Structure formats: C-alpha cells, structure tokens
Amino acid sequence: MLMTDRERLAGEIKALAEQHDNCRTALIPIVQEIKQKYRKLDDFAMQVIADQLGIHPVEVYSVVSFYAFLGSAAHGKYIIRLCRTISCDMQGKERVMRQMENDLGIRFGETTADGKFSLEWANCMGMCDQGPAMLVNERVYTRVTPERVHEILEECRRSFGVHATEQKEVYLV
C-alpha cells in the first residue's frame, strides 16, 4: 500500500470514529464499514481503529476474530455464505454447493481470481423452514436450487456495471 493510500484510509477511519465520539462501542460498525469498502481489514487499518478508539490493536483483532462475519482476511465484492446447518443440509445444500463451486471455479473458503466472489459457510440463519438458505452480502436468498444459483450469480455480475449501486436492504426472494 502506498503512503497516500494509508493516509486516506487513516483519514476515513478517523472521520468514522469521530462520528461515534471515538467511543469503543463503535468498533463493530467501523469495522463493518471499512470491510465493506475495502473488502478486507489489514493490520494497518486495525491499528488505526484501535488508536482512534483508545483501545489496543490486539483488542480489535480479538473482536474481529470472534465474529465469523468480521474476519480480517481479504474477500471478494460478494461474499456468498451458504447455510450448512442441519435443516438446510437436509434440504439439499450439497447440490447448491456443487453448482456454486462449478459456476465460480473455486472451492468454499476461496475467492475468485478477479476478486468478485468469495464462498463461505455459514450456520443457521433462522430460515430453516425455507432452506437451503444463503446470504449474498446482506441479502438473504431462500429455497435456493442449483438452477437458481446461476441466476443469482448473474444478478450480482450485472451490478458490476457502471450504473450499478449496492443494494443494502435485506429482502427475501
């Protein structure tokens, strides 16, 4: 990372922290925001966050490593999280998984070379009656079938266009 990139990142974190009165309770929202924008949370970012909130970098790392959704590793623009808990498992998550891996050419736990998709496992998200369920970033998809996988991925790809905007609200399909 160039020095100027670092400065920009530090400035952004500083502004975010100030919005929250530099209070340590803002740790999670700040981490989420930075992760969403940069798709990773590197060592430098964690140290700036700690500095701004008056805590220690290892405390940031501790929180980030506690929550599966906050992991500090780099990831793609879309993180697809497929539920692996028993109901979804019984409703065919294996087939969805295979379709997804075939379509993207990566395994679960990996990110595509173009940095667009990451595949991850998730545990029960409360959609057991409508499994298999999965999350694409913050969107929940239920009753996912191998056939629909292609459609969902296409939908994501389309949003890469110049006019694409990130959809934030959660809705069911």
Please say which residue, 57 or 92, places its beta carbon nearer to ligand FES: 92
Query: Is 156 annotated among the ligand-binding residues?
Result: no
55 in contact with another protein (CB under 8 A): yes
Please say which residue, 74 or 106, places its beta carbon nearer to another protein: 74
72 in contact with another protein (CB under 8 A): yes
First vs last C-alpha separation in the chain: 39
Cα dihedral across residues 48, 22, 66, 128: positive or negative: negative
Query: Is 88 annotated among the ligand-binding residues?
Result: yes
Residue in 136, 112, 143, 107 with CA at minimum distance from that of residue 122: 136
Query: Is 128 annotated among the ligand-binding residues?
Result: yes
**What is the closest distance, in whole angstroms, from the C-beta atom of residue 86 to ligand FES in the complex?**
6
* Out of 57, 124, 138, 159, the residue judged to bind ligand FES by CB under 6 A: 124
Please say which residue, 57 or 146, places its beta carbon nearer to another protein: 57
Please say which residue, 64 or 80, places its beta carbon nearer to another protein: 64
- Per-position b or e across 121-150, b if 16+ CB within 10 A of its CB: ebeebebbebbbbbbbbebbbbebebeebe
Q: Is 170 exposed, middle or buried (0-12, 13-18, 19+ CB in 10 A)?
A: exposed
Q: Interface residues with another protein (CB under 8 A)?
A: 23-25, 43-44, 46-47, 51, 54-59, 61-62, 65-67, 72
Q: Interface residues with ligand FES (CB under 6 A)?
A: 83, 85-88, 124-128, 131, 133
Show binding-site residues for [2Fe-2S] cluster.
83, 88, 124, 128
